[in-house]
Amino acid sequence: MKPAITLVAALLLVPVVALHAAEPKEAAKPRSAQKAISYQSADKFVSAAQKNLGWSERVRSVSMNYYMGGGPTKPAVNSGGVVYRKMNQMRKNPPCKAWVFVDEHPDTINDGAMHPGGFLSLHWMDMPGSLHNKACGFAFADGHSEIHRWLVGATSVPVRFVDWYAVGFDASFDARDIRWVRERTTELP
């Protein structure tokens, strides 16, 4: 089953590989002589609010599951969940039920990983996106993906261009969405 994660990661790297393959002469030069790579924006659409802030383009917001791969660097944030380093570590959460990549909410991107919050709390830390008609894209460890529509209106937080810690909220009044994400994030040992 390990090839599934490798396949998903490889698909994300195709643009990078293509960029390097386009200029083989550059790759042969010593690092000091190579030109700096300029990354292209993934999205030329900019909303009126973004234009008012001076944006001319933006990059999409894909993050990796905090509990996949290398795992947490801060044990206090781990909350006791299993960090999946190998596919055979997925015992209660099979690969078809464990997400690897997600469309993270643009306001909560503060690193490359999405952590929905601790198991003992019903408070969102990092938020999944809702830019797909109040839904979010998830790519799973077995290679399949799905768009999940949020059941709780409050989970569809509008983009407000605020710091990431101002976006999360207490979901205890209706925990259906946060539970759906957490059931597919990791498992308790």
Q: By the 8 A CB rule, do 43 and 58 touch? A: yes
Render pLDDT for 71-92 as a digit per residue (tens, 0 to 9): 655 554 656 788 898 899 999 9
Residue 163: pLDDT band (50, 70, 90) is confident
Whether pLDDT at 138 is above 70: yes
Whether pLDDT at 164 is above 90: no
CA angle at residue 133 from 128 to 138, to 5 degrees? 40
Lowest mean pLDDT among 5-9, 41-45, 77-81, 110-114: 5-9
Amino acid (one-letter) located at 47: S
Annotated domain spans of the chain? 2-13+45-183
Q: Residue 177 has what pLDDT?
A: 96
Amino acid (one-letter) located at 83: V
Q: Residue 137 has what pLDDT?
A: 96
Amino acid (one-letter) located at 109: I
Lowest mean pLDDT among 1-5, 73-77, 104-108, 151-155: 1-5
Render pLDDT for 48-74 as a digit per residue (tens, 0 to 9): 777 787 877 666 688 999 899 876 555
Render pLDDT for 165-176 as a digit per residue (tens, 0 to 9): 778 778 989 999
Residue 90 has φ and ψ, to the nearest 5°, of -85, 90
